Amino acid sequence: MQVIIAEKSTAAETIAKNIGESKLKSKEFGPVKIWFTKINGKDSVVIPLKGHIMNVKYPEKFKKWDEATLVKMIDAGLLYEPDAIANIDVIKKYAKDADEVIIATDYDTEGESIGFEAISVVKEVNKTAKIYRSVFSSLTSKELADAFNKLQKPNKNLADSADSRREIDLILGAVLTRFVSLSANRLGNAFLSVGRVQTPTLTLIVDRDAERRAFKPQKYWRYVAEIESGSEKFVAEHSEGKIFDEKTAEKLRKLLKEKHAKIKSITKKVREVSPPKPFNTTGFLRSAASIGFSVPNAMRIVQGLYMKGYVSYPRTDSEAYPPTLDLKDILSELSKSQSYKKHTDKILAAGEIIPTKGKEAKDHPPIHPVKLPEEKLSSQENRVFDLITRRFLATLSKPSKEEVINVKLDIKGNEFVARGSKIIIPGWREAYTYSKYEENILPELEEGKQLKILSFKEEEDQTSPPSHFSQGGLLKIMEDLRLGTKATRPEILKKLMERRYISASKTLIPSEVAFAVTESLKKISEELTGPKLTAHIEEEMKSVESGEKTKDEVVNESRKLIKDILSELFKKKPAIKELMHKALLQQYVFGVCPKSGGKLRLIVSKKTHKRFVGCGDYPKCHFGLPLPQSGYMFISPQTCPKCGIHMVEWHGKESKRTYIFCVNPACKPPKKEEKAVAKPAKQDEKKQS
């Protein structure tokens, strides 16, 4: 008998269904469902894990949070303890009689680490079974069959690389989180988290917000003319665009009464725009974020589609399809759908298929569809599958051709410009509808012709600060700075949101606590808040992966670095404590009271224990606003555009979705969010706690 170990339940079921040679049978052991079939003529049982089945942790003696244990924790031996007991018991039950054990977890460092955890369980009950590794990038019947016919040896270096990351992140995170939390007196559920990748990432977000706060706007003017040509209209703007000099603006102001413009020149250029590159993990997540998905949610959905066998493995650095990938076979599958048939037919009719390509990596191919869904997907799953499929079709399509027109006009000796563009041949844009291209079609114009000005406007405005990071934009910067990996970056963003360091929205806005933590650490250790240390450790982990260094060597070198950082933090503890105290007071402030000008604060009634917004000038001012009385609440860094009060991020205890809304009833939140807002606090509850 052979035992096959998959990473998750869905993957186990897909493997059994796609390469099973006999009628499938299943059996449940509590939460663990296993599958029986024949694979390659052998009786087989497919057993799922639930990700890691071993938890890396400190010994129990380090459970207490106090300064005396911090230095000791750096050199403490870590424990790998069983976590998923039900899964482990099932492996032991069937592994003891197995001739062969095949590890079929995801083929990357994390998947290999999970695989070796399963191997350690197998060896407890069976030391003679042969152990193999199946390597695949999608869960299609063809690729799985090929993987199970070409079994390999498990790669210990890959597993050690992942385990070195787990150990380093635990040591650094536990030690520095405890130091910062003890300094701020924030213990229990209110602890302040610090992490090797998390803290430099948070620093990027905080630095951008600090730049915005320090930004001084500069006034400028624009001059725009609406011009008529026959029965059509178009717009021309002064060639300098933004005018910052007031004297120049004063001269141009005299043009506002002009009635005619003369065409000086018309230039037309046809440009060819190549199709986009195939999706690697970062490219996919950025595109998903641009159409409304949060990065963690997009990663969760695409992982689910992979487990069901509909898309390829979603954690990849590659932007080039390997020669072994049968593109025509995938196109043939997609042609069964009316949504894609028009595009697949066009690609196949064009002759030789030459896909676009970016950087090549040795891990997995770019993310691509492998099979049309055989079940009804959720609306979000459908959209993600469609995004991946249309991107794949675009990478195999012809370039688009676009005409760009530049018209220069003379208005009383001043040059104005009108720019037009239109698509001549849509090419790849026809398939990839997620790429927005706005045409600006100008009327037919002739050089030397005089046209009528219908209106002339002066627009006064001021420069804007740099925008906050979007989730997709931050991912690209993290990749460029080598902060984290393709697998861990979405989780880092998720943690920052869950720990209330940043706003849980498309725009990443840091809280006052985020400012306090990063500014404190930045003054003491730029290594911890900058990307260099993290990138260095990532390189060290790659050296474990390649076999140049051992896991113990890399972990012990990191222990020394952590000791140096902690030593510097202890020297400046009083300053850190003070900075934290000020920021923590600020985090409970909603803004300025519209009646008294005092601070609006979070109040919890001593009598009823209800929470509400109250004025700091109480009892002189009785202004108050309602708050949700149940669920988890966080004062958002975002302010309401109507009243200027800080909004609230809220979710119910059983809900994964976060709602962001203004608690001021005068701002009339949408109906679906009104349920989250409690009734106004009664007057007798407005006693300051």
> What residues act catalytically?
313
d(CA 265, CA 258): 20
Strand 659-661 versus strand 646-651 pairing type: antiparallel
Q: How many CA atoms lie within 13 A of 356 on its CB side?
A: 20
Strands, sheet with 646-651, edge to edge from the N-terminal-most edge strand: 632-639, 646-651, 659-661
- Name the token pair of 239: 């060639």
Kindly tell me the burial class for residue 285, based on how many C-beta atoms sit within 10 Å of its own C-beta (0-12, 13-18, 19 or more): buried
- Name the token pair of 123: 């060896």
Distance of CA 501 to the CA centre of its chain: 15
Report the candidate in 175, 192, 176 with the shortest Cα–Cα distance to residue 184: 192
Strands, sheet with 611-615, edge to edge from the N-terminal-most edge strand: 589-592, 599-604, 611-615, 624-626
- ∠ CA 210-213-215, rounded to 5°: 105
The residue behind tokens 């966080």 is 634
Question: Is 108:318 a contact under the CB 8 Å cutoff?
Answer: no
Phi-psi region of 338 (alpha: psi -120 to 50; beta: other; left: phi over 0): alpha
The DSSP annotation for 86-120 comes to HHHHHHHHHHTT-SEEEEES-SSHHHHHHHHHHHH
Phi, psi of 155 (to 5 degrees): -105, 100
Strand 589-592 versus strand 599-604 pairing type: antiparallel
Bridge partners of residue 133, in order along the sequence = 103, 152
In 105-154, which ranges are E strands?
Answer: 130-133
d(CA 361, CA 316): 8
Tell me if residue 417 falls in helix, strand or coil. strand
- Name the token pair of 250: 């004063």
Residue 659 parent element (H or E) = strand 659-661
Distance of CA 154 to the CA centre of its chain: 30
In 284-428, which ranges are E strands?
Answer: 400-411, 414-425
Phi, psi of 99 (to 5 degrees): -85, -35
Tell me if residue 633 falls in helix, strand or coil. strand
The residue behind tokens 């102001």 is 253
The residue behind tokens 């018309």 is 266
d(CA 477, CA 468): 13
Kindly tell me the burial class for residue 607, based on how many C-beta atoms sit within 10 Å of its own C-beta (0-12, 13-18, 19 or more): exposed
Rg, C-alpha atoms of the chain: 30
Task: Reply yes or no: is the peptide bond before residue 619 cis, omega within 30 of 0.
Answer: yes
Q: Please, which residues have CB within 8 angstroms of residue 246's CB and are 6 or more apart in sequence?
A: none
Amino acid at 652: G
Bridge partners of residue 462, in order along the sequence = 219
Residue 476 parent element (H or E) = helix 471-480
- Name the token pair of 134: 């199946």
Kindly tell me the burial class for residue 673, based on how many C-beta atoms sit within 10 Å of its own C-beta (0-12, 13-18, 19 or more): middle
Amino acid at 126: N
Amino acid at 177: T
The residue behind tokens 């563009």 is 421
